[in-house]
């Protein structure tokens, strides 16, 4: 029996939720903190070959820097 990685499941669920209009950044996060979070998340997703989540995060990053 293959044991699923709970952290991976939560990560993918959270990133997938970023494609909806029902999420928002914490009020106290400035632009740099948002970019740091997204950049670290992209790196983590790339290491695990979660390319769909990488694409979502790259789109989120574009909205931050616009």
pLDDT digits (tens, 9 = 90+) for 8-63: 999 999 999 999 999 999 999 999 999 999 999 999 999 999 999 999 999 999 99
Range(s) of the domain holding residue 55 = 6-16+29-65
pLDDT digits (tens, 9 = 90+) for 50-62: 999 999 999 999 9
The answer to whether residue 11 is domain-embedded is: yes
How many domains, the chain?
1
Query: With a threshold of 0.75, does the pTM exceed it?
Result: yes
The answer to whether residue 22 is domain-embedded is: no
* pLDDT of res. 22: 93
Q: In Å, how far are 11, 22, 52, 62 from 48, measured between CA atoms? A: 11, 26, 11, 22
- The single-letter DSSP state of residue 16 is H
The answer to whether residue 21 is domain-embedded is: no
Taking the CA atoms of residue 20, residue 40, residue 53 and residue 6 in that order, the dihedral angle to the nearest 10 degrees is -90
The answer to whether residue 33 is domain-embedded is: yes
């Amino acid at each position: 029996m293959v044991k699923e990685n709970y952290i991976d499941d939560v990560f993918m669920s959270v990133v997938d939720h970023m494609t909806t209009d029902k999420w928002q950044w914490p009020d106290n996060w400035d632009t740099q903190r948002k970019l740091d979070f997204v950049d670290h998340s992209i790196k983590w997703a790339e290491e695990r070959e979660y390319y769909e989540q990488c694409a979502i995060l790259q789109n989120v990053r574009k909205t931050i820097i616009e």
